[in-house]
Amino acid sequence: MTLTRSSRKAASLTMVLFKGRWIIAFDFRYNATRVAATLGAAREFLDGATFALDQHHMRHFVDTLFSATELMAKGMLLMDADNNLLKSKKHEIIHNKFNLTGKWGHTDPRYVRLLNRLQNLRGSARYWTRILP
């Protein structure tokens, strides 16, 4: 029995003998169901950020875009088998690991810079500690 990507939590290797030839497929990503749910939530936050921007609600825009970007980063990180990331509810874990993926060249450095910039802007947007640029 082959598990579909949406129903499995672990990487898979599928081998099928068909007309005397082996067909091999592999997918070494983990947590497919959780990744899909996380990316769905990120899409909702991105839609909310777009709406806030259209309404010129810049504080709401920054905070919501931060949430969308962080969820996208988490979705990407969840494809690796890392129990610390699965169990943690702390922003710091996601940010540290995402910064490392950028440092190692596993993601576009622009995405890492975006997450870091939004993290820095979020406090001032949310708690009015300074005026946004």
Confidence of residue 132 (pLDDT cuts 50, 70, 90): low
Domain ranges of the chain: 32-127
36-63 residue pLDDT tens:
999 999 999 999 999 999 999 999 999 9
Q: Are 122 and 63 in contact (CB under 8 A)?
A: yes
pTM for the whole structure: 0.75
